[in-house]
Structure 1
Amino acid sequence: MSGWVSAWLQNKGEGDHESKSESDASRGSTTALGAEGAAPVSADEIRRKRLERLQEQQHVTPPCISSNENTTKKTQDTDMSVSANQTTALTPPAIKAETSDTVSSAMPATCKRSIENPDVNITGLKCNVCISDCGAANAVDRQRARRLRKAASADEIRRKRLERLQEQQHVTPPCISSNENTTKKTQDTDMSVSANQTTALTPPAIKAETSDTVSSVRKKGTSPDVYVNNVLQRVLRVTLSSARSSSDLLLLEVYMATNEAQPNELLSPANVSEVLYARVIRNPADLPGGSQHPLAAVAYLEQVFYRCRDEMQKLQSSFVRLPAEIKEQTLECLQSIRDMCVNYSATALTDPEIFPFEAGTINVDALEKTVRTQANAETPDFIDGVVAQLEASNATLAVFAPIFQKLLSELFLIAPPSLMSNFYSNMYTLTVLCRNKALALVFTQIPGFLLTPGLPMTGRRLQDATALGLLLRFSCNQDPAVTQMFTNITKRTKNDVDSSILTIRNKLDSVQTSVTDVVTLLLKAGALSRERVLTWLEQAMQANAERAKENPDVNITATNGMFVNLTMVLLKLCGPFMAPKSKKVQFIKTEFLATQNPLFPADETRLVGSGSPDADMAEDDRQVMNASDFHFVTRCYFITVRAMHLGPVGMVGQYMRLLRQLSYFQSRMGDQNADPRLRAHFDQMATTKMIMDAELLHPEFLHEMIRFSLLTCAVVNSICTGLDMYDERPMLDLPLPTPDTDANVVLKHIPEHLVDDLCTTLKFVARIEPKALNTFELEELLRMIIIFLSSPAYVHSPHLRAKMSEVLFHIFLPSDESDERETAGTAFGTELLMTDVLAQRHLAPCLLALYGDVEHTGFYEKLEHRYNIACLLKYMWKLNGHKPAFLLIAKDKDNFMKFAHGLMNHINSLVTDALVALPEIKMLQEEMNDTTRWMSLDETVREQKQSLLSDKERTVTSSLQLANETIHMMSYLTSEIQEPFVEMPELEDRLVSMLNSVIVKLAGPRGVELKVNNPEQYKFRPKVMLKEIVETLLHFAHYPSFLEAVATNGFYDGRVFRKCAQIVARTQLLDPSDIQKFETFVEDIGRAAEGAAIREEALGDIPEEFLDPLVCTLMKDPVLLPSGYTMDRSCISQHLLNDQSDPFTRVPLTASQLQPNTDLKIKIEQWILEQQQSADS
């Protein structure tokens, strides 16, 4: 159990003991004792006795029934203002209409007139209803009174009709007596019994008519003082008249005894304050049973407060006919009662000794129950009033902190924190309380709101021991109820699974919405509350720094579900400034990154390379500032940046690894001899995937993450360019100048994961839920990618630049442009790629340069990156707006050489790997087709060979898939770009070697070994590959140096070239004109090869000093290395493209350090000339 929960339980026990002790001392002799020296009656004992009295009352005659003559006489003299509802309840259905009419006629005209015209002074006349003197009445009044005395009384009529009803129903109505004295007593009873009781007992046949009639009696026959008395009785549930005492109305004997000198049985504004106080200090043990008389003063006052509201609404209606002055006084009286309820409640909570009979924490418990009862619409107003009083005495924290802690402790005790548990009521109660700013501040000040300094600051402790952590921890993680929803996942229907996912998402919505409401209210409660919330959020990021690792320790970090909830809350808080071109985005001050803040560690990898490998690990040189100096928008934005990195982005990696594992197990389960345990493990992983789908792929969550990622693009662009976000911007001059981290301090401290996370998020959405991107504008994303690809100095990581090419591939490339992989291909993205001016100018050269840079990302990674780039370039080559940019790169010799060299190296390695593996696949297939031989092998050997075949097939498929795209790219690029290849000997030789090598492999003597079963399965298309290689050769056929290079290349074989020409002609791979050109080209190469052979023979033995030390060929342009060695320029240039170091000493080496060896070159040229002259002679 967390520390603050234990503290709450301990404090509660101590508080109960102290409260009970104080109560015992104050109650003194008034406390009911079971025996001499017995302990005071506790609150529980009071409640128990009350329950016993309630049970006894269920087995006795209702209090309104009596056959005693004296009781009848007493009832006769009682006021007849019984409320309409109670009358209706007691009237049998068969006689309701008639009774109503009779009662109405029984009212003397004198009384009616006196009500209708209160200014008339009528005295001296006695009537059997009002029992008043009406001395100034006229003869008509006296005659009417005599007729009324002679007429049958209303009670006699009622008695006879009730007897008839008894005969019909064979039961006796609960409030009717056959005793004549009872009838006499009932005759003069007040007819204003409360409406609710009347309605409850009235038979349905005559309910409406009776209700209307009695209502009219009340309006016409009740004096203003009596009406006010009735109103106050309903509000306070007390009476000063012993005749009116009932289970609903409590008779205040104490007040009546203290006011014997001025007896008054009517409640009025003059005595209501004394009456309310007398009721509040009443001993709870003496209260009759029933919910109308709660034990705790606070509970009673809250109900009075609520009833005042109802009565004030009735008084303000046009149906109540009271003099304006009296109505105004009554409204003021009711408002005064409301104020007294609030004042007394605050007093009862802070100074309970004033109420001597309140036991223990009964009032605090009653207040807790009140705030939990959300059905009472008046509760927020009542609580607000009490809080305002408590604020005046600085007691709000002392009263409400225990309530907050109890609500949180109940959430803490829910283990595991299941989404299916009953947590919502407590969360909603917290939300209602936090709507009051004073209470919101109290919530942030309770023990356990922030992590206690000194103890280990871990994510799991923050989740389980802080207030907001307890609210956020309800998720799918380790929830047996959620796991049960996906049992036997492989046997469930899609609709069933979708329904379970929808159920989980609805539960997550309720958690995230509730916590968002609470956090929003806390932030709006004032500067102190807002600062404590932001401090907690920063602690959450610090305590979960472990989650930034690839394999974090899950025992000390918060769960994935908690971080999903927290990130969603933060994204909703960022909503107002994530809107496109929102003005609030101007409050994001990126200078925050250049200050020492708790969000981003000093050793975090930075986006812009510093030139020194150890510079990023140096001492923290950020400016020292308080985080509170920054605007809320700034702090909220960067907290969300960190939360995205620690939460969803890490989960994306877990999700993609899970997909790969599922794919692997699924392929293994297809084998006949598959281990049965694979099925169980597969089901378990599939369940995990479904749960992650419910959390991570929630449509609203994806939508908010996309919005935030695009906002981050705008922030990063603003930092790099120095321009304001979303303002009208001039056309950028790319590449950007070399980053000046002294002038732009923020640029130096941008964490690399800021850009990496947005690329990861957008790529993930494009791959898993591409439709989620359809409604977004992507200008800022494309702009950021172009800026970084064109200015590599701003992103020192080739992995991150390569990831940007993946984003381009998945979001901007039309889906029909990739034969092997599906892309999102959003309408906005493809249109933007076609028309954006910045993209037309710079994107193609950037991708061509990146094609060479990804060489440093790793073997398997570069295959995927280059495939993506090849598909993008192929699509852009077709766009007229982009083609000029392809031609511009040919003018940049250094970059073009890097690109071309990478391209040719890639083709060589891919084709070599694939075509070497194909014969091995063929051998394995033939061995497996020989059933007799295959079954004779040991089972372990067969499994090994099957596994080897699967590995070879995967390798060949991926290699050939990329080789096809790469060879195609070489074909269409060289159709218009040829000069750079032939102007640089190192490129020309490299290109010739690559082309000759592929032709020999495809059409050479070992080509027959490449025939495998179902070659299309491995993306092996030899005819297409041969066609594009031949097209590339023809692009250079008119260059003599190229012909010479082909003829003298070590891979050249005249027979293979002639066979290749026959294959092209027989299969019609090219147009007839191109076929003719290729045949001519083959003949020209043959003649050039013969001439080269003659010249080489004429040279004879070549002096060793003229040979390149690496390849042992005659040097044409010797250069001197810093180490003193001499090499041919073309040879060392090719080496430096792969490895920038001296091949002999491994010392770093660049092309600029090469010095021409002019003297040796002259000697070589003279020697060649002498040899040729000697051969001619």
Structure 2
Amino acid sequence: MSKSICKPFTSKLIIKTNDNIVELVLLCTIDEDAPITSSKIYLAELSTLYAEKWDKNRVDQALFERQRIPNPRNELIVSTAKNALISDDIITETRCLYYLSGCYQRLLQQRDYFKSILSDIQKLFIDHSKTAITLPSMYPDQQLSKQWIDLLIESQNNSLLLEYIDRVNNELVTSMTDEIEVFYKYVFHYMYKVIQPLDYFNSKLSFYISILSNLSQWPILVQIMFRQSHPKTLSDRATINSTISVASGRAFQDTLIGSLLSKSCLPSLPGNPYIFFNQPNSMSEHAIQTTSETVWQLMKTYQDTLTQLFKMFIKNADARSDVLQWIGDCFDENHEKSKKWSSNDPLAAVIFVSDGFLINLTVILLNLAKPFAEPYSPKLLKIDPRYAICQNASVHLTNLYKETPLIKRHKETTDEKCSQATFNFITEIFFMSHFSYSCSVRGLYRKLLKIHGDISKKQTEYKNAVSLEESDSQTTKDLEAQIQNDHTTFLNIKSVLNEPYLMELSNSLLTSTCSWLVHLASSSSDPSSTSNGAEQMSILKMLPLTSKPNPQLSYIPEFIIENIIDFFKYISQFNVRFFRSNESSINEYMYFMLVFMGDINRLANAHLRATLAEALDTIIPDQQDNDEELNRAFPAVVFEECPLIEHLPRVILDVFVSIELTEQAVAFQQKFNCRHPMYNILQYLWKFDKHRLQMKKLATYAERHIEDAEAPLFLRFINLLMNDANFLLDEGLIYMKKLRTHQDMKDSDQWNNMPEMQRQELENTFKSNGQYARYSNIMGIKTLIILNMITQYIQFIFCHPTICERLAAMLNYVLQHLVGPKRRDLKVRGINEYLFDPTKFVTKVTDIYLNFSRYDQFCVAVSNDGMSYNDQLFPQAIEVLQRIKYPPERIAEFQKLSERVKTINAEQKQADDAYDDAPDEYLDPITSILMSDPVMLPSSHKILDRTTIARHLLSDQTDPFNRNPLRMQDVIPQTEFKKLMYLSFIRDLARWIKRFFKVFGITHRSSSAMNRGLALSSTMKNCIRLAGLSGALAICLGAYGSHAMKENTSDDLRRLFQLAQTYHLLHSAALLAVPFVSRPHITTPLFLGGLTLFCGPIYYHAIRNDTQFRRITPYGGMLLIAGWLSIAVL
């Protein structure tokens, strides 16, 4: 009984509920005469239905009829009640999706009342919405996509509407059709049109970003969004790359995603003004700082929003590839933005995306890299270096393989390594972050440097203009306006680059990259050797790296190194306080520099390694602002306390030398620019005992191995230092003479008689010569300062014949021009403009002379220089030194040096007479000096002195006669030729002694008498035989000393050995002259006994390192003296 009663009751309740749906939700009625509390739309077609038949289908019919009414106001039954709850505008809504969404919301507002049929009616509204979207022809006069975007905007503050949109989207994506994709393309296109004109401060931007963030929960919508945001909306990547035009790089900005990325405080379009710092000349430091903080706050807020949006985009793996592909294609089409020319060429602003676009994208990528961007993070080991060389479908930076690698890459490795390679997200983001950083931050840094230089140049022009014209002239006004505009640009760019969060993210990526690159450089050369998962990141413990270079370094593009360098340089130049607050980071940069700057096997580009030195130079104190604490304390900590910093002197010398070598040589005009920062570093390092000690160790090693086939590093360094000094000082003097000649010409009548065009050409030449003179003088005095600094503590190696003669010749040449009669040619008007300070030059040259004043080798080399030295040179220098107030005690030392050199010069002239008649084949073909150790060059077959070719190969590793490659170990010793030279010398010496005796009357026997005596005396024949045997023994011992003792004998012992051989050879030759003296039977035993007792113990000491017989050496010396006296007396 109860069941029969309950069922009709429930049925009637549902009918009544459905009827209420029509009135309360659809806002319609089927009873034209019924009293109503609010207006309703009359549904005439359904009015004939009986109430018992009202069910879900009837609601569906009612909804369909309501939507098909073309003008609902014509069917409106107006309520007679006052204060209607729903306005007529809502009741008569004609927009399909607006009406359906309103019904859905009204249903949810009364969900308790309609609980029994809630889900069915909800689905009914969703189905009708889907039908409208998929069959837009049903509503030809309605812009459904426009309605949808308006609903999306309103949903940001309406949770019921947001639920409706989410339900509709869920239905749409379950059965994606072309119509649905077209619908959303229109939605996204409309959003782009609305977003594009909005400025950086417009609050509507956040609404649209929230909408996109909400839509990104459906991967298919993200895919449509990024396809729609591609300049060429094609799915075939190869087709995209082949059809995108050159100018399409900019086209990425003119899309939905691009329009969001382009919002920035930097201009998004060429010619647009900057937003901030419009009157920089009138702004105080506090105002500039406050404005910068405003910029930073805006950047941080907006970029955080963009970052969250992109994190939503890539959250789903199905859409991630589309997002990365869009970013990759954008970089491929804008890759020239990373080149230097793009920072200075106005055309770049037209054909590529804006700087603000790239900065925003960089911050997004840096945020995505943040989870692994930490030094020594285990996640860094997931980075696959092969990504940079592969070209398969899993690589989204398709042009990365074209970038120059750190070291030479073998072609056969590419196909082998990349055939089946796939890459994880960490790898993609790592390389994309670096490429984006290269295009954005580095590009802005280059612009900043250029503008900074332009401002300095224009300020100089402005001062000159003010001094020549009225301060309110048009020229000065124009320059003042230009300076202010440049200053505005400078401050805007600087504030963007100094944004604290950007700095923090950049530092995190770059320090982690340093640790990763150092790990690669120091790890096994076989990548597969750590494939068992045991590989770990660890702090560098030892230098230099002696293992073979890791081949994976040949995959890494150079721009990653350049990112690190430019960030370090920027911080040091424009934000040094950042290092003070991030001191832990400096160690990673120093590890990186110590590993790569001095190792050609791990970074082949010598110029790039020199740029690392340039980056390090930026933290040298005199490069900073006037902050005393930062100037003194911070660099001292870096150069004294950083781990492994004791290797820095070796590293600097290595890169100094490498930029000169043939295969690594940079352009000639760049060479001195590269070396200038190295001079600054060396000069600063010299202040620390630990670094001076390292330099002395390098010099000591070079002394011990100076005769090695491959010249030691320090020897090559000082040779190049000498080359630089020779060239720069010579160039400076030449250009100063040219300036003097030009000024003399202007003072003559000849100048006034010249045509105007010729005078202008000469003026241009004069300005050019002035610039060259200024540069040569700057670098010349810097080189002398370094040379003096080193030679104060290290002298011996400079006294080696390979170096000594060139050092002396260079000093003599410069001194001759500075103090001799030619010095008048260097006097020019405005001498300070060319930074030519004769006083400083003379002082430094004199200091270097005095550093070697106690070394005979140097004094001999000075006196032997026939090009510049004469007896008047040093007295002229003393006169100048007295005039410039050089310290008196130092002048006294120089006076002693002058007298010593003069004495040696006189003695040398007498000694040189013995070689006047030397055959040409015994003279070195380059220096025209008698050879002491002849060698043959393997390709040209020329014979020259070992010292000459060793000196040449220090600078140029080629044969000087045919330019073929040549190494010191390839030269061929000429032992037989050397013997012939010695025999010739002995014969000449015997003839000279004979003439000497004859001149001074030591013997009265005639030549014929002597010849007869010699012929008849067996004693004399034996004496000559003894001389020959002794001389042969001396030559053999000399060969032993040159080869067998080279590697395992100390310098002191080798010098002792050479001393013994010199006395041995000299007295062997003297034995040849004994037959010509009056009492040969006395002189011969004295010489033989002296040789045995003097040279024998020294030979034994040098060979065995045993001094037990050295006590008899003085007796041998006395016998030799007695032998010479016997010649003179007897």
Q: Is the TM-score greater than 0.5?
A: yes
1:994 paired residue among 803, 807, 810: 810
C-alpha displacement at 1:949, in angstroms?
Answer: 3.9
Amino acid at match of 1:899: F
Contact 2:448/2:493, CA 8 A, preserved across alignment: no
Tell me the residue number matched to 2:218. Answer: 437
Compared CA separation, residues 1017 and 502, structure 1 to 2 (3 A): same
Determine the C-alpha separation between the residues in 2 that align with 1:261 and 1:664: 91
The 1-side partners of 2:632 and 2:309 are apart by 37
Q: Which residue of 1 aligns with 2:166?
A: 384
* 8 Å Cα contact 1:1004/1:1056 also seen in 2: yes
Distance 1:536 1:1033 in 2: 67
Q: How far did residue 900 of structure 1 move? A: 0.5
* Equivalent position amino acid for 1:1110 in 2: I
Stretch moving more, 781-790 or 373-382 = 373-382
Q: What amino acid does structure 2 have at the position aligned with 1:713?
A: C
The change in CA–CA distance for 1:985 and 1:649 in structure 2 (over 3 A counts) is same
Distance 1:1093 1:755, change over 3 A: same
* Cα-to-partner distance string for 1:511-564 (whole Å, 9 max, x where unaligned): 75554443221101x211012212222223333445566657857655555444
Q: Name the counterpart of 1:814.
A: 621
What does residue range 253-332 of structure 1 map to in structure 2 within 5 Å? 257=47, 278=62, 281-282=65-66, 283=69, 285-287=71-73, 288=76, 289-291=88-90, 293-306=92-105, 331=112
Match of 1:861 in 2: 670
Q: Residues 366 and 505 of structure 2 are in contact (CA less than 8 Å); yes or no, is this contact kept in structure 1?
A: yes
Out of 904, 923, 932, which is 1:1116 matched to? Answer: 932
Distance change in 2, residues 1:480/1:599 (3 Å): closer
Which secondary structure state, in structure 2, belongs to the residue aligned with residue 1164 of structure 1? Answer: helix
**Which letter maps to 2:641?**
T
- 2:607 and 2:659 in contact (8 A); partners too: yes
1:899 is aligned to 717
For 2:314, the equivalent position in structure 1 comes to: 523
1:1067–1:801 distance in 2 versus 1, CA, 3 Å:
same
Instruction: Tell me, in whole angstroms, the C-alpha distance in 1 between the residues paired with 2:591 and 2:798.
Output: 32
Structure 2 letter corresponding to 1:534:
L
Partner of 1:461: 248
Code of the residue aligned with 2:331 in structure 1: it is M
Cα 1:420–1:711 shift into 2, 3 Å: same
Distance 2:55 2:271 in 1: 60
Q: Retained in 2: the 8 A contact 1:815–1:824?
A: no
Change (3 A) 1:504 1:926: farther
Counterpart code for 1:732: M
Q: Work out which of the residue numbers 720, 738, 744 in structure 1 matches 2:521.
A: 720
- Matches of 2:754 and 2:139 in 1, distance apart? 91
Alpha carbons of structure 1 residues 1148 and 412: separation in structure 2 relative to 1, 3 Å: farther
Any idea what the Cα deviations from partners look like across 1:283-314, whole Å, max 9, x if unmatched?
Answer: 362345424542235323433554667x58xx
Q: Which string of whole-angstrom CA distances, capped at 9 and with x for unpartnered residues, describes residues 464-523 of structure 1?
A: 366544544567567367238699989987899999999988887777555444322110
Corresponding residue for residue 576 of structure 1: 371
Structure 1 residues 484 and 390, CA, compared in 2 at 3 Å: closer, same or farther?
closer
Partner of 2:993: 1173
What is aligned with 2:605? 797
Give distance in 1, aligned partners of 2:804 and 2:429: 56
Of 538, 547, 564, the match for 1:737 = 547
In the TM superposition, residue 1002 of structure 1 has moved relative to its aligned partner by 2.0
Deviation track 1:436-471 (CA, whole Å, cap 9, x = no partner) reads: 335644535755657523351346436536654454
- Note if contact 1:427-1:471 (Cα within 8 Å) is conserved in structure 2: no
CA distance in 2, matches of 1:416, 1:273: 47
| 1:1047, distance to aligned residue in structure 2 (A) | 1.5
Task: Please state whether the residue corresponding to 1:759 is helix, strand or coil.
Answer: helix
Aligned with 1:778: secondary structure? helix
1:343 and 1:1154 map into 2 onto residues whose CA distance is 96
Which one of the candidate residues 1070, 1075, 1095 is aligned to 2:911? 1095
CA drift at 1:1145: 2.0
**Whole-Å separation in 2 of the counterparts to 1:721 and 1:353:** 60
Q: Could you tell me how far apart the structure 1 residues matched to 2:508 and 2:366 are?
A: 9
Query: Hey, what does 2:361 align to over in structure 1?
Result: 566
Q: How far off its partner does 1:1109 sit?
A: 1.3
Matched residue, 1:916: 734
* Alpha-carbon distance between aligned partners in 1 of 2:828 and 2:269, rounded to the nearest angstrom: 51
* Runs of 5+ unmatched residues, structure 1: 1-225, 264-269, 313-329
Contact 2:30/2:44 (8 A) holds in 1: no
Counterpart of 2:1023?
A: none
The 1:619–1:625 alpha-carbon spacing in structure 2 relative to 1, beyond 3 Å, is: closer
1:884 positional shift: 1.8
Change (3 A) 1:440 1:781: farther
1:1033 pairs, out of 810, 833, 849, with 849
Matched residue SS, 1:881: helix
Q: Distance in 1 between matches of 2:103 and 2:196?
A: 39
Aligned letter for 1:719?
Answer: L
**Aligned ranges 1:1019-1030 → 2 under 5 Å:** 1019-1030=835-846
Three-state SS of the structure 1 residue aligned to 2:935 is: strand
**Post-superposition offset of 1:271:** 9.2
Q: Distance in 1 between matches of 2:628 and 2:859?
A: 41
Name the structure 2 match of 1:349: 130
The equivalent of 2:555 in structure 1 is 749
TM-score norm. by structure 1 comes to 0.68
Q: Measure the CA separation in 2 of the matches of 1:541 and 1:1174.
A: 88
CA gap 1:1114/1:679 in 2 versus in 1, 3 angstroms: farther
Any residues of structure 2 matched to 1:394-543 within 5 Å, and which? 394-395=175-176, 398-399=179-180, 401-408=182-189, 411=192, 424=205, 427-428=208-209, 430-438=211-219, 440-441=221-222, 443-444=224-225, 449=230, 451-452=233-234, 453=236, 454=239, 456-458=243-245, 460-461=247-248, 463-464=250-251, 468-469=257-258, 471-472=260-261, 479=269, 482-483=272-273, 515-524=306-315, 526-543=316-333
Is 1:1043 matched with 2:866?
no
Any residues of structure 2 matched to 1:124-139 within 5 Å, and which?
none
Counterpart in the other structure of 2:1034: none
Contact 1:799–1:857, Cα closer than 8 Å, also in 2: yes
Could you tell me which amino acid in structure 2 is paired with residue 387 of structure 1?
Answer: N
CA contact (8 A) 1:607 1:796 kept: yes
Structure 1 residues 10-159: aligned runs within 5 Å:
none
SS of 1:1119's equivalent?
A: strand
Q: What SS is found at the alignment partner of 1:857?
A: coil
Contact kept? 1:766, 1:823, Cα under 8 Å: no
How far apart, in 2, do the equivalents of 1:458 and 1:725 lie? 45
Q: 2 CA distance for matches of 1:874 and 1:683? A: 41
Which residue in 2 is equivalent to 1:786? 594
Aligned-pair CA distance for 1:573: 2.2
Describe the shift of the 1:620–1:254 C-alpha distance in structure 2 as closer, same or farther (beyond 3 A).
same
**CA RMSD between the two structures:** 4.7
Question: What are the within-5 Å matches in structure 2 for residues 835-874 of structure 1?
Answer: 835-840=641-646, 842-855=647-660, 856-874=665-683
Q: What letter is aligned with 2:928?
A: C
In the alignment, the residues of structure 1 paired with residue 914 and residue 723 of structure 2 have an alpha-carbon distance, to the nearest angstrom, of 34
Structure of greater relative contact order (alpha carbons < 8 Å, 6+ residues apart): 1
Letter in 2 for 1:731: K
**In the superposition, relative to structure 1, how do residues 963 and 423 fare at CA in structure 2: closer, same or farther (>3 Å)?**
farther
- What is the SS of the residue equivalent to 2:944? strand
Note closer, same or farther for the CA distance 1:477–1:510 as it changes in structure 2 (3 Å cut).
same
Q: Report the CA distance between 1:400 and its aligned residue.
A: 6.1
Aligned-partner Cα distance in 2 for 1:1149–1:574: 49
How far residue 878 of structure 1 moved from its aligned partner, in angstroms, is 0.9
**Aligned mates of 2:196, 2:144 — CA distance in 1:** 30
State whether residues 1118 and 1128 of structure 1, in contact with CA within 8 Å, keep that contact through their aligned partners in structure 2.
Answer: yes
Aligned-pair CA distance for 1:349: 2.5
| Alpha-carbon offset, residue 896 of structure 1 | 1.6
**How far off its partner does 1:831 sit?**
1.7
Q: 1:1052 aligns with which of 845, 869, 873?
A: 869
How far the C-alpha of 1:625 sits from its partner, in A, is 4.6
Q: Which of 554, 557, 566 is residue 760 of structure 1 equivalent to?
A: 566
The equivalent residue for 1:105 is none
